[in-house]
Structure 1
């Protein structure tokens, strides 16, 4: 067994080690994008991910992905994974999101009911190179800009400033007390020092709306109580649909085992609720066609608590990383717990009818900003913000002093390199989107 503590090293030595890695593996190498010879057909890669999806929802998935290059990028994590996996990397691995595009950041409630902004989708999470997340993030910002008909320079600048925000956050984390930095949440208060003048008003509106987005509000919108029945979900096909008694029984049986993945005190608390209804609800874009249930729990009076039970599959990055075979829901939840300093206390996993699932609260004070609807200066502010958030998430499992040494070795050069990558990959995504639309049309 290895020792818990290591011999003391001056922080400057750790930073210098990071800078030395920059000399051995220049950022220009890891941020260069050129299609590999024999590049896999992106349409076939997307089609391959339809395995085990609900067949009648695949057309809806294709419809959503076809809308713009940005929606295609969001739904095609497997394509970008295949494109970037074989590029040089620094060799430093940690818990990464695996799908860190610009729409996978948002607000949610901490256990203390504080509003936090963080990475909020972990379906593809793995232990892998940190560069993969940053590449997907900067590329998505540039694709979002081009999809909303902003100038090429606006897309490049957003990617550049996202990398600058990432670098600046690591510089701060590298000099903070280690314990303090590890537990720093990206709340409204800690984000206040970031220059967000052009997006401040929208930021406040989204925060205000998120605070109202609770199980109670969801129950008011999507459930009803007839005189002769208990509370139940109101069908709204194809998004919200009723399920058979047999399917309901499978979900509830899975939730019994889910109780073993959360603490004893929370399991005891949940046992005081009663199940009022279970329904199937389509969520997201890349997840369309996967099985996803909502479970309506009733407590005291009109109190409602809604759980989401969502199918978990192998990460799109799995073929390209070292991995340990385990429950896919567990993989997702453990990755989320690693990257977020505060997470939903009801996170857990279950097996339903032989398939792995993750379990969490549904829409617990969740809110987000759609980057494809932002003006150029707003997108630039948002890009810096999500760059900061991603850096903090990576610093949970990779020493921020190492990353700081690498990223700040020549400052602006890091930002320019990732800006160039984003522009090159945006062009690739637009070509792939055109091919995908043509395929769907036929």
Structure 2
């Protein structure tokens, strides 16, 4: 197996497969985050009427807790919003709720919290989500400590902090190593051509008071080994120089391939046929701070979406939680998702959706039975699949 240092383009696939296997074997929570296809297969298998059917709106499609976090807008404001849209579709908003509840419940189990806490988490998910639909969800000041800490870090971060974290070097180069791998010559040429298009030049100059007609130069670019859930797809980090002389500014751009979403969608929902345009459109509806900083393009015949990485963009990492932290995180993060959904609905639609969510309330649990049964079934399926994944990973290592 090739080393993860200076991976050649022809060696990317096996190196990424190994990294993905290792990452998903670390914990059941990590496995849930990386096994979206299994989640969608379960959704597709549910009989009509088992889950509430919400209005046809843009949903995240992969709404686990790690895909939420602080995001900076073009105007510099920062808010907690959804931050990943590979799977965004016009679909059933209940799917986002179930995905979020599953990730929070798995994090709770990984923190060795009692099973009753999982039940309370689901209550908080519904309460926080419905509060957002009523426009009275918690504010940032009421966020759990884990979220407030990330927000404070986000507000105070600079370009140097971003360079140190992402590039490990504030100089205008992308150092090759474990994260960044060399490009094929054709890839470098295609990236150069990408920033010759008016839309991408405008994206590069739209932030930080840059002049509209400032020259844009590709200083460096590399394949970016990030996440590994998009195995085999293009992912590039591109360092741009914008302007000249003392006015030259640096920008780190994230270029990611878009493919057909696996998330279930409503047949009646009209979405762009181009997958990168679908991603950008979904982001603009669900997370305006991020969506308005994104643009669709193409590298060769492959559709890609592009955004500038800002120092303020961070993800919320939920590892070890107390019962109190788990409850507060569930309510707050569900409120974030609720706001993203609610901005796409008028008042009457929100009221109908709140009423639909109340179906099948339990006498002993202040959360709908459909949510409880969904999360319990999914935890069971994912736990079995996670242990099988670990067994295969251990066998592969023993044979290596």
Q: Smaller-chain TM-score range?
A: 0.7 to 0.9
Relative to the length of structure 1, the TM-score reads 0.74
Q: Which residue matches 1:272?
A: 215
What are the residue-to-residue correspondences of 1:158-177 with 2, within 5 Å?
A: 158-172=121-135
Do 2:205 and 2:211's aligned partners in 1 also have CA atoms closer than 8 Å? yes
Any idea what the Cα deviations from partners look like across 1:302-336, whole Å, max 9, x if unmatched?
73211110111211125885665722111111101
Q: 1:79 aligns with which of 38, 43, 54?
A: 38
Partner of 2:4: none
RMSD: 3.0
Deviation at 1:403, TM superposition (A): 1.4
| C-alpha distance in 2 between matches for 1:129 and 1:263 | 31
Q: Post-superposition shift, 1:211?
A: 2.4
Contact 2:160 2:170 in 1 (8 A): no
Distance in 1, matches of 2:120 and 2:198, equals: 45
Equivalent of 1:61, from 3, 16, 20? Answer: 20
**Do the aligned residues in 2 keep the contact of 1:219 with 1:304 (CA within 8 Å)?**
no
* 8 Å Cα contact 2:298-2:304 kept in structure 1: yes
Q: Supply the distance in 1 between the matched residues of 2:109 and 2:259 (Cα, whole angstroms).
A: 31
- Contact 1:169 1:388 (8 Å CA) reproduced: yes
TM-score for both structures, normalised by structure 2: 0.82
Mapping for residues 28-427 of structure 1, pairs under 5 Å: 54-87=13-46, 88=48, 89-91=51-53, 92-172=55-135, 190-192=139-141, 194=142, 196=143, 199-200=144-145, 202-220=146-164, 222=167, 231-237=172-178, 239-257=179-197, 259=199, 266=206, 269=212, 271-299=214-242, 301=246, 303-317=249-263, 321=267, 326-343=273-290, 345-398=292-345, 399-408=349-358, 415-417=367-369, 418-427=371-380
1:337 positional shift: 0.4
Instruction: Find the residue that maps to 1:304 and give its secondary structure.
Output: strand
Q: Partners of 1:324 and 1:343 in 2: how far apart?
A: 19
Distance 1:271-1:133 versus aligned 2 partners, 3 A rule: same
Q: Deviations along 1:79-134, whole A, 9 cap, x unmatched?
A: 11110124234443211100001111100111111111011111101111111111
Which residue does 1:179 correspond to in 2? none
Per-residue deviation, residues 12-45 of structure 1 (Å, max 9, x unmatched): xxxxxxxxxxxxxxxxxxxxxxxxxxxxxxxxxx
Change (3 A) 1:351 1:160: same
**Structure 1 counterpart SS, 2:132:** helix
Aligned residue pairs total 367
What's the CA shift string for 1:66-90, capped at 9, x where partnerless? 1111111111111111101242344
| Structure 1 unpaired stretches of 5+ | 1-52, 174-185
User: Which structure is higher in RCO with an 8 Å CA cutoff and minimum separation 6?
Assistant: 1
Deviation at residue 260 of structure 1 after TM alignment: 6.2
CA distance in 1, matches of 2:124, 2:168: 43
**1:363 positional shift:** 4.2
The answer to which of 426-435 and 251-260 deviates more is 251-260
Secondary structure of 1:343's match? helix
Residue pair 1:109, 1:344 contacting (<8 A) in 2 also:
no
Deviation of 1:427 after TM superposition, in Å, equals 1.8
C-alpha spacing 1:158/1:210, structure 2 compared with 1 (3 Å): same
The CA distance in 2 between the partners of 1:213 and 1:385, in whole Å, is 23
SS at match of 2:307: strand
